[in-house]
Amino acid sequence: EAGVTQSPTHLIKTRGQQATLRCSPISGHTSVYWYQQALGLGLQFLLWYDEGEERNRGNFPPRFSGRQFPNYSSELNVNALELEDSALYLCASSLVRGNEQFFGPGTRLTVL
Amino acid sequence: SQQGEEDPQALSIQEGENATMNCSYKTSINNLQWYRQNSGRGLVHLILIRSNEREKHSGRLRVTLDTSKKSSSLLITASRAADTASYFCATEINAGNNRKLIWGLGTSLAVNP
């Protein structure tokens, strides 16, 4: 069974540009989570999607947005990129409440 | 301080020794999960322990949960060089009608051959 996949692996952008990160959950998982892992700050929760709807949102500005498609894959969009957006962005999927989250390998975003 | 604080921040041991990492939290939880991350890559789920459980085992891993002290520990026995990684605890809490997973900063474990 394929795990959570993310693309691209690496992404290099310049300040002010927009970035789109993609995630495909494990087959059958309906929940997708996005996290930002910046150096020294640990994992920060970004967004949670379930059944196509945004269920919860972390303390991030509105330029961080996303969506979940009918096939449960998800996109994370970051507009007006800033240098401090440079981080590893991790996507996870899960089945139902209380189940463990399965993580993808992440997308490393570098903003120059 | 934040929910889900790991202690110590870093740990260096010799192969064969046991490694113990602790996680403390502040609010009531649904469950607590431990994850491992190798070299800035994706996280791997290790163990989930529910709030009504006190201890769980998985291979060389042993997790305990003390809800009265709001703390958990992860014990890795007979460590190997391949156990070198960062270990994170995450607590699931209720946030209104939703649930939230809150992460600590992690413990960096180095197992020296």
Determine contact, residues A4/A25, Cβ cutoff 8 Å: yes
Q: What is the mean pLDDT of chain A?
A: 90
A15 assigned to some structural domain: yes
pLDDT by residue, tens only, chain B of 113 residues: 345 678 888 999 999 999 999 999 998 999 999 999 887 667 888 999 999 999 999 999 999 999 999 999 999 999 999 999 999 999 988 776 667 778 888 899 999 99
Q: Among candidates A8, A10, A5, which has minimal Cα distance to A110?
A: A10
**Which chain A positions have a beta carbon within 8 Å of B95's beta carbon?**
56
Return d(Cα B36, Cα B74) in angstroms, integer: 11
Return d(Cα B101, Cα A3) in angstroms, integer: 20
pLDDT for res B4: 66
**Which chain A positions have a beta carbon within 8 Å of B105's beta carbon?**
40-42
A59-71 residue pLDDT tens: 899 999 999 999 9
Per DSSP, A44 falls in state E
Tokens linked to A102: 């399965």
pLDDT for res B1: 37
Determine contact, residues B95/B47, Cβ cutoff 8 Å: no
Label each residue of A47-75 as H, E or C. Answer: EEEECCEEEEECCCCCCEEEEECCCCCEE
A6-33 residue pLDDT tens: 999 999 999 999 999 999 999 989 999 9
Is B43–A92 a contact, with Cβ atoms under 8 angstroms apart? yes
Is A100–B45 a contact, with Cβ atoms under 8 angstroms apart? yes
Is B98–A48 a contact, with Cβ atoms under 8 angstroms apart? yes
pLDDT category at A1 given cuts 50, 70, 90 is low
A31 assigned to some structural domain: yes
Return d(Cα B76, Cα B5) in angstroms, integer: 18
Task: Provide the strand spans (E) within chain A.
Answer: 5-7, 10-13, 19-24, 31-38, 42-50, 53-57, 64-68, 74-78, 87-94, 102-103, 107-111
* CATH fold of B5-112: Immunoglobulin-like (2.60.40)
**Three-state DSSP class for A34?**
strand
A110 assigned to some structural domain: no
Residue A103 has pLDDT above 50, yes or no: yes
Residue A96 has pLDDT above 80, yes or no: no
A112 assigned to some structural domain: no
The total of structural domains in chain A comes to 1
Find the residue in A nearest to B96 (Cα).
Answer: A56
CA distances from B45 to A62, A102, A109, B88 (A): 30, 7, 23, 10
B45 interfacial to chain A (CB closer than 8 Å): yes
The domain of A35 spans: 5-105
Residue A98 has pLDDT above 60, yes or no: no
Tokens linked to B27: 């609010």
Determine contact, residues A78/A17, Cβ cutoff 8 Å: no
Residue A45 has pLDDT above 90, yes or no: no
Residue A16 sits in a domain of what CATH number?
A: 2.60.40.10
Which amino acid, B10? A
